[in-house]
Amino acid sequence: MTLKTLGAKKAAELDQELMSEDGGFSIDQLMELAGLSVAQAVYKVHPPPTNSQSKPKILIAAGPGNNGGDGLVAARHLHHFGYTPVVYYPKPTNQPIFTGLQKQLHKLSIPFLTTPESFTSELQSADLVVDALFGFSFKPPVRAPFDSVLADIIQAKKPVLAVDIPSSWDVEGGPPGEGLVGHEFMPEFLISLTAAKPSVRWFKGERHFIGGRFLSKAIADKYGLDVPDYRGVDQIAEVEVGVKVEKL
């Protein structure tokens, strides 16, 4: 088996095509579908216990871009799935789509952490961390305040689900060099959105999912992608870790 991957340029082109007049999607729709996929991946790797009053605490670290927006959407779905989501969003984006997502979470009484100290404290009791800091457009190195956020996540040694690519990784080149923040960052779980990115060749975690069940066969064929074998109502499909990677 060969896993076909999209580099940053092709991934951006695909997003633009989906959101074109001919493609018909809006950024809101794509973010909603991505966030739902993230929430379902959490459910797969850490299902809530049945017949229990205890709700797993999921700590979502959200960055300033669309990757962070995916995390905010996931927090809403996780609340309805039976979890206790907690959000750390240190640099909120002042755009309608992001302010709307925050309002939705406030209406559900989902807590937002406001200080680095509160984030560090919440990490100690979290059952799982969602890394939604940076996506495929990220360019190293990690800058403040996110360098401290990522360092805290690594030090806490909690299970992590990374959204699209592990934060601090270059979409093409993988983990940063020795001595840089994120050099030793290896999440247990990864959910690639729409398609895996080339950096997945360095992923040595436990489970890898593809999420985003919205590509038509025509679009997938145009970009040389294989549509995953989604089952039933699933928005994600699990793929084998460590398979040969082909960049398109």
Binding site residue list for K(+): 67, 131, 167
Q: What is the rounded CA–CA span in Å between residue 226 and residue 248?
A: 11
Query: Partners of 140 in the beta sheet?
Result: none
The 3 state secondary structure assigned to 105-162 is HHHCCCCEECCHHHHHHHHHHCCEEEEECCCCCCCCCCCCCHHHHHHHHHHHCCCEEE
Token pair, residue 227, equals 């549509």
Q: List, edge to edge, every strand of the sheet that includes 160-163.
A: 112-113, 84-88, 57-62, 128-132, 160-163, 189-193, 207-211, 236-239
List the binding residues for (6S)-NADPHX.
Answer: 66-70, 135-141, 164
Torsion sign (Cα): 247, 190, 165, 12? positive
DSSP structural state of residue 200: G
List the binding residues.
Answer: 66-70, 131, 135-141, 164, 167
Q: End-to-end CA distance of the chain, in Å?
A: 15
